[in-house]
Each structure stands twice: as structure tokens, then as C-alpha cells.
Chain A
Amino acid sequence: MFILTDLLVLGCINGIMVVGLNLQYGYSGLLNFAFYTYVAVGAYISGVLTLGPSTTPGVTYILGAHLPWPVALLLGGVAAAILGAVIFSFTVRRLRSDYLAIVTVAAAFIFWNIINSDVNLFNGANGIFNVPYITGNADLSTEQYSLIILALAAVVLAACVWLSRRIFRSPFGRLLRAIREDEDVAAAFGRTIWQSQLWMYIVGCFMAGLAGGIFVFYITAWSPSAFLPLESFFLLAALIIGGSGNYWGAMLGAFIVIEGLNELSRYTPTFGRPELAGAFRALVIGVVLILVLRFRPEGIFPERWLDWYGRKTRAAAAARWHPANWTLHREEPSKVGKP
């Protein structure tokens, strides 16, 4: 039973991450190989803000405070969003896609190296630990606590998907798709490309920060070994396999690729050398990624499966083009098709 809730919690957390990445890569076409860095920022900030000032000798970190967990969670998201905005304005605005990819990976490596080597920031390689349970009392069993976190993660995931859906159907979402397909055309229609992309970048990073915060509340510890730069590649692979641009596809990718391959295999019997299982699943992800790119580049759930306009807008559009409304003079709007 615990296995199931554990898998579901991790699935929801990874779902939030991939849905956030979808806003950046799927909606706006911004390649981000440093996505997990923002997750880490959210996790560290949320962690230290609930952990309180360090009392253990030899454990040093900044910003220790006893904030209520919802505030800490939100601040974690905000910190990730601010970092995202800063990095965006330095890099995304001026680089083309392949250079952007290199710069994001390099930035992720530097960030990781600094966190890992500097013990004063977040306790270096040992990381932060003993983050208190968000329920306050520590006498909960692991299973009960995982159920509480599952509820939290599911609610946040639902909110993220809802927001993605709203953005997708809004005029702003259509503008983003236009920019992704052809920047020059969108610019020719008087849109400011970087402004629209910046918003998506910030919202995506915010979701990453939230996911990191929930993650650290769940596992109650965070260290550099938890956010190796490689993780971002897995998230991107999950998004592309699931269907980039489609929030259902993003969730599917998170559950299939990251859950099905990464987390589930912790519970399957091991075979051979200990590192073999991990190597096999990364190998499988690589093969599947290339096969999907080759034979189904739109992913398992393509973007075109989504309802672009929603029922109401579509009904209004249908009414507008209904033959009963065909007039030469358009002064009087017709009532056909409306209640």
C-alpha cells in the first residue's frame, strides 16, 4: 500500500515539473536543460524556511526560519521564478536554441558545483535534512504522512494543469503558439516576443519551485546528489515522449517515463550489478526518445488532440458562421445559436 502512495506522490511531483517544463518547451519552444536547477532552488528555499536556524554544529545554511509551510512553499516557488526571470533576461533573450541548450547545461553545472562545494550556502555536499513534517507533529507514520503529501501534491498538480489549460485556450496561448511556430510573423503582427516568452518561463520556473518544495516536505532532506544536472534531461525526454505542448501528454510522460522507469524499478527485484538497473532504464529512455522523435515527433498525446477553443468559444464561432447569419449587413448581431 505504501508503495502505491509513494509512487503516486512522486508521480504527482514529477507531473508538476513536466507540466511546468511544458509551459516553457511545449508552449513557447524555449529549450531548458537546467529545469531541475529551479526544482532544487524551490526545495532548498522551502526546506530552510521551515527548518529554522541551524542548531547542529557543523551544519550551516542561510535563511533558516520557522515559517508556516504554505508560506515557505510559495516563497520557494517565487525564488525559483525570480532566478528564472534573471536567467531569462541574460540568456534566453539573446541566444538561439542550440546555444541556449549549451548555456543552460553549463549554468546548471556551475550552480550544482557552487552548492556542492560551498558549505555556507546550503551545507555543501551533505545538504539539508530533518525538515519537519508539514503537519507539525512528528508522530505520524510514514504511510499516513505520504497520504497527506499525496493530497497536497495532487491539488497543486490539478491547479497547474488547470492553469495550463486556461493559458492554452486563451488568446495569449494562441500568441505563444504563433511565436513558437514563426517568431518573425508574430513580430510582424506587432507582438513583443520576449515578453510573452518571459511570462511562460517565469510560470514554468514557479511550478518547478513548488514541485521542489513539495518534494523536500515529502523526503525531508535535500542535497546535491538529489539534483544532478542529468535529471533535467529526463524531464525533457518525458515531455517529448508524452507529447510536448499537451498538458495531458506532459502528465502521461511524467508517469510513464519517470515513474514507470525510474521510480518503479526501486521496487522490482534487482539483478546483476547494482548499477545495472539504472543503466538499463536510462538506455531504454534514450531509445524510446529517439524512436518517438523519429516516428511520432508530436509525442503519444499530440498537441492537436487538445480542444483549442473550448465548447463555449466554439459554439459562438459556429453561430457566427451559421448560414442563418449570412447577411450582407452586419450591423445587427443575430441571436441564432445563443440561448
Chain B
Amino acid sequence: MTVFLHAVGFGLATSAILALAAVAVSLQVSVTNFINFAYGDFMTFGAYIAWQLDVKGVNIVLAIVIAGAATGLLGVVANLIVFRPFMRRKVRPVTLLIAGVGLSFIVQNLIVIIWGAEPKRLVQTLGTSVQVGPFLFTTGDLIMICTAIVFLVLLHVTFKYTKFGKSLRATSNNIELAQACGIDSERIISITWFIAGIFTAVAGVGLVLEETTLSPTTGFNELFIIFGAVILGGLGRPYGAMLGALIVGVLTEVAGQYMNAAYKTSIAFAFVIVLLLFRPQGLFAAKGKTS
């Protein structure tokens, strides 16, 4: 039982990271309606920026803020240069998907060219264990969970109570109608990419803190687990993605506890496959997005 509860605890920390990434993906899908295969590499990019600044001696919080801004800018630029021309031509979703694969090649290998392919080892500075109720957390886990909660609440407030949030929901609901109402949907889409970039970078830093290594494929390896969480929550539904992340995170950690560790990611992948085969619309499907 203790082992089980500890696994659930690890799962919660994993879920927190996963939730940030999944919400970012879901947010972007909700306004652009295609799945971006380069997302994992955006995460890696953010993590590398934060790591580089940290090595240079910048305060870690400031480093994460700068990394978030940089990744957000990367998202905006990627949208402007790569995705928007395709979306204006109204190509099939498959084309956007493959363009995402191309972008993934570009970002991942730029990282290799700039920072090298060998993994960077991090010194875990946030390592002391804390007993919270039945769970055992490291302080790093706790910080990660709190950060995730703060970010998600902030997002919720933005969504619900600001004019931007309202325009975003309108764009996501029906882009033509939103444009007819005078909403500058391209501006909304750009801002969404920026916000998603910030979330992605924070998730990337969290992922690296958890795994204690950073390599150019860190984010890409996590990508399909994130997709699993996103789809479980219903594609294009940020709130669903949070719950999806919680389920996927806890499930993989608990399953990993009782099985060969080599198969831990395979379990998550198998879960994604089964989910897509039997309930592709997720737990809460968004109307009009996908099927």
C-alpha cells in the first residue's frame, strides 16, 4: 500500500508537468485545429534556454521567465512562418501534421547544433523528501505541483474574466463567426501560441528537473504521452487536458512501479493506442473539433 501511495505521489508530480504541457497543446489545438508534432521540441528548447541561463548564473526564476518568453516567441514565429501560410490555403490537416514533423527536425537539430547531442546532467538541488499526508514528495515535486496549479488557475482566470479570454473562446468555437464579430483572430492565434509557449517551457523545465538529464530528444520522447493526455481530455479542451494529464500521469507511474522499468513509456504508449482505438473523442469531446 505504501508503495502504491508513493507511486501515486510520483504520479501527481508527473501529472503536474504533463498538465502544463497538455494544456498548452490543447489550447493551441482549440484555436488552430491541428496537432503540432514539433511540440516536444519546443519543450526541449525552453528547457535548454533555462539550463543555459542557469549555468551562466542567472536566478532560476528569472531564467524560467526568459525561457518562457523565448519559447513563446518561437511558437509565434513558427506559426507566422510555417503554419499560417498553410492555414490560409486551407490545406488538409495531414499537410499541417507533416509540416510539424519538418519543424520538429529543424528545432531538434538546431538544439543539437547549438548545444551538442550529449545529454546534460543536472545537479538536483531540490532533493529533500517531504511527507505530505500519505504521499512522499521531494521539494522539487512540491514546487512543480504548486507552479502548475498557479499557472492553471491564472489561465482559468484569463479564460473566464478577460476580454482576451472571451475572444479566444469565440475563435476556438467558430473562427468565421468570431471574425465576423470583429475579433482579430490571427492576433488571437498568435497570442495563443505565445501563451502555449510559456506553458511549454515551464513544463520542459519541470520535465528536466524530474529526469535530471537534458538531451535534444527529451521533449520528443514525452510528446506522445502528452498527446495521450490531451486526447483523453478531448482534443481542444484545455480543462479536459488537465484531467487527462492527471489520469495518464498517475497511471504510468503506478504501472511503472509494478512492471519492468524498461516498459514504463511503452505502457503510456499502449494506453494512448487503446484510448484512440476505443474512445478517440476522449472523455469530454469538444463539439466541432475533430470527432
Could you say which of A91, A102, A103, A294 has the most chain B C-beta atoms within 10 Å of its C-beta?
A102
Given contacts A102-B35, A113-B265, contact A289 B101 (CB under 8 A): yes
- Consensus secondary structure, chain A interface: helix
Quick check: A290 and B103 within 8 Å, CB to CB? yes
Of B3-11, B15-23, B92-100, B165-173, the one touching chain A: B92-100
With A109-B224, A289-B105 in contact, do A98 and B93 touch (Cβ < 8 Å)?
yes
Which residue on B lies nearest to A228, using beta carbons? B217
Known A101-B97, A114-B266, A236-B98; judge A279-B109 contact (CB<8 A).
Answer: yes
Q: Mark A91-111, 1 if CB is under 8 A from B, else 0.
A: 100111111011101110110
CB pair B94 A97 closer than 8 Å: yes
Q: Are B224 and A287 in contact (CB under 8 A)?
A: no
Interface residues on B, range: 35 or more
Within the complex, the shortest CB–CB distance from A30 to chain B, in Å, comes to: 10
Given A113-B262, A286-B102, also A279-B95 (CB < 8 A)? no
Whether A282 contacts B98 by the Cβ 8 Å rule is no
Q: Chain B residues near A273: list those with CB within 8 A.
A: 116-117
Of all chain B residues, the one with the shortest Cβ separation from A90 is: B277
Contacts of A86 in B (CB 8 A): none
Q: Per a CB cutoff under 8 Å, which of A106, A113, A297 touches B91?
A: A297
From B135-143, B185-193, B247-255, B268-276, give the one contacting chain A. Answer: B268-276
Residues on the B chain within 8 Å of A95, using CB: 276-277, 280
B260 proximal to A (CB < 8 A): yes
What's the A-B contact tally at a CB cutoff of 8 Å? 128
Residues of B within 8 A of A116 (CB): 262
A residues 267-302 with Cβ under 8 Å of B?
A: 273, 275-276, 278-280, 282-283, 285-287, 289-290, 293-294, 297
Complex contacts, B280 vs chain A, CB 8 Å: 95-96, 99
- The yes or no answer to A117 lying at the interface (CB within 8 A) is yes
Query: Which of B98, B113, B224 interacts with A280 by CB under 8 Å?
Result: B113
Cβ of B48 < 8 Å from any Cβ of A?
Answer: no
**Nearest CB in chain B: distance from A130 CB, A:** 26
Contact among A105, A110, A117, A293 for B102, CB-based, below 8 A: A293
Cβ–Cβ < 8 Å partners of B194 in chain A? none
* B106 on interface, CB distance cutoff 8 Å: yes
Residues of A within 8 A of B122 (CB): none
Is B85 among interface residues, defined by CB-CB distance under 8 A?
yes
Contact B86 A103 (CB under 8 A): no
Please indicate the chain A residues that have their CB under 8 angstroms from the CB of B273 in the complex: 91, 103, 106-107, 110
CA distance A286 to B103 in the complex (A): 6
The 4 tightest CB contacts between A and B, nearest first, are A286-B105, A289-B102, A279-B112, A286-B106
Chain B residues near A102 (CB, 8 Å)?
35, 224, 227, 231, 272, 276
Counting contact residues on chain A (CB < 8 A from B), the size range is 35 or more
Please name the residue on chain A nearest to B37 by beta carbon: A101
* Chain B, interface SS category: helix
Interface membership of B110, Cβ < 8 A: yes
Which residues of A lie under 8 Å from residue B45 when comparing CB positions?
Answer: none
Most chain B CB atoms below 10 A, which of A114, A116, A240, A290 = A290
Whole-angstrom CA separation of A285 from B106 in the bound complex: 8
* CB-contacts of A236-282 with B (<8 A): 236-237, 240, 273, 275-276, 278-280, 282
Report yes or no: B106 in contact with A283, Cβ–Cβ below 8 A.
yes
Q: How far is the CA of A289 from the CA of B94 in the complex (A)?
A: 14
Q: A40 in the interface, Cβ–Cβ < 8 Å?
A: no
Whether the Cβ atoms of B97 and A97 lie closer than 8 Å is yes
Find chain B residues with CB under 8 A from A290 CB: 82, 99, 102-103, 106
> Does A106 contact B105, Cβ atoms closer than 8 Å?
no
Interface presence of A31 (CB below 8 A): yes
In the assembled complex, the Cα of A236 lies from the Cα of B101 at a distance in Å of 10
Q: Is the CB of A289 within 8 A of B117?
A: no
Tell yes or no: A145 within 8 A of B by CB. no
Task: Tell me whether B117 and A233 are in contact (CB under 8 A).
Answer: no
**Bound: A298/B106 CA distance, A:** 22
- Shortest B214–chain A CB gap in Å is 15
A283 touches B113 (CB 8 A): yes
**Are the C-beta atoms of B117 and A279 separated by less than 8 Å?**
yes
CA distance A15 to B227 in the complex (A): 32
- Interface flag for B51 (CB, 8 Å): no
Would you give the shortest CB distance from A240 to chain B, in whole angstroms? 7
CA distance A237 to B105 in the complex (A): 11
Contact with B along A103-131 (1 / 0, CB 8 A): 10111011001101100000000000000
Contact of B277 among A91, A280, A287 (CB under 8 A): A91
Q: Decide if B98 touches A240 in the complex (CB within 8 Å).
A: yes
**In contact, B35 and A117 (Cβ under 8 angstroms):** no
- Nearest opposing residue in chain A for B112, CB measure: A279
Interface positions, chain A 288-325, Cβ under 8 Å from B, are 289-290, 293-294, 297
Is there a chain A Cβ closer than 8 Å to B108's Cβ?
A: yes
B291 part of interface (Cβ distance < 8 Å):
yes
